[in-house]
Amino acid sequence: MYTGKGSVDVSDLGVRADFVLRLARGIPKHKNYKLFFDNWFSSLDLAQTLSDQGILTLATVKANRLKGCALESDSKLKARGRGSYDWRVETQSNAIVVKWYDNKPVHLISTYAALDPEDTCRQWDGKRKEYVDVKRTYCVKEYNRFMGGIDLADMLLELYRIDFKSRSKWYMRIFFFLFDLSVVNGWLLYRRFLAAGQKPMNLLQFKTDVARALLSGASLATPKRGRPLSDADTNSQKKRNYTCRPPDSTRLDGQGHFPAWIESKQRYRVCVQAHSKVKCVKCEASLCFTPNRNCFLTYHTM
């Protein structure tokens, strides 16, 4: 039952289940609509409550939320091999609980998808170093179909998540989450529309190139505190200018790469045996441009 506390509906199922129930209020009841979520939210009680409301569900579930549902042990399923499973039916809500063993056991609960029809899926075998066919139940297939992309996105976000430790500015966590999500989605689109035969960048390289492209358009100079240095102090300090290598997306875009003459010689970016007074105004890279060598063209085309 729900009890109104302010503007938030609260049930006896816990905060996590309340999130699902609140978001599911707009779903038409008894119209065979299906709702999918992961094991952070799911439980037998939540599946029964949604079933009473006429909403079909399929979700992974943690083993400690199955209220003593006796399923085969991990060791027995492992001995039977990948693709083995065990199942039970909860009679009150007519929900099925399936324990499917792949690289590790996975528990699923559903009020509409059961075991049949079974099929096979391609999974990576770490010992044999190849893909193998693994038997799976219908509920596993349905979950992968509708939740596989979400689980993959969560995994990719965790690989190179922006580390943000501030506790006061909670809205910054939302900003950095959306930024990470945008980069991951951009990388997936980049892989989808990559030219045939071209080797794709991994996610770390892609994220690094995005950071370099953003930094290349911003001024990193910041005013220094304290007393300004005199001319003598300034001349006594030896400074060396460093230029960050532009991302390949900028270097090879074929736009705005013009040579410019500089006063002091700098080491070549391509052939580092000599120095040059010619640089690219966009990449800020020193490149030779002579009758014998044209590293300027090589750098922007290869």
Asked if the model's pLDDT at residue 241 lies above 70, the reply is no
Q: Which spans in the chain are helix H?
A: 15-23, 44-52, 74-80, 138-159, 170-192, 203-216, 231-236, 248-251, 295-299
Residue linked to tokens 């079909």: 56
Cβ–Cβ < 8 Å for 266, 279? yes
For residue 226, what pLDDT band results from cuts at 50, 70 and 90? Answer: low
pLDDT (tens digit, 9 = 90+) per residue, 246-294?
Answer: 777 777 777 778 888 777 666 655 665 566 778 888 887 778 777 777 7
Give first-to-last CA distance, the chain, whole Å: 67
Euclidean distance between CA atoms 223 and 225, whole angstroms: 7
> How much of the chain exceeds pLDDT 70, in percent?
82
Per-residue pLDDT, 153: 83
Cβ–Cβ < 8 Å for 61, 42? yes
Tell me the CA distances in angstroms from 139 to 21, 24, 60, 81, 153, one per residue in order: 22, 21, 10, 19, 21
pLDDT (tens digit, 9 = 90+) per residue, 132-175?
Answer: 999 999 999 999 898 877 878 888 888 888 877 766 677 888 88
> Among 7-11, 69-73, 112-116, 147-151, whose mean pLDDT is lowest?
7-11
Per-residue pLDDT, 6: 43
Neighbouring CB atoms inside 10 A of 206's CB total 21
Euclidean distance between CA atoms 173 and 181, whole angstroms: 12
The H or E element containing residue 276 is: strand 275-280
Per-residue pLDDT, 247: 75
- Can you name the residues that pair with 133 across neighbouring β-strands? 122
Among the listed residues 245, 156, 252, 154, the one whose alpha carbon sits nearest the alpha carbon of residue 204? 156
Neighbouring CB atoms inside 10 A of 142's CB total 17
| Amino acid occupying residue 227 | R
Cβ–Cβ < 8 Å for 90, 97? yes
Per-residue pLDDT, 2: 47
Q: What is the biggest distance separating any 2 CA atoms in the chain, rounded to whole angstroms?
A: 88
Asked if the model's pLDDT at residue 57 lies above 80, the reply is yes
Asked if the model's pLDDT at residue 7 lies above 50, the reply is no
Mean of all residue pLDDT scores within the chain: 81
Asked if the model's pLDDT at residue 178 lies above 50, the reply is yes
Per-residue pLDDT, 229: 58
For residue 1, what pLDDT band results from cuts at 50, 70 and 90? Answer: very low
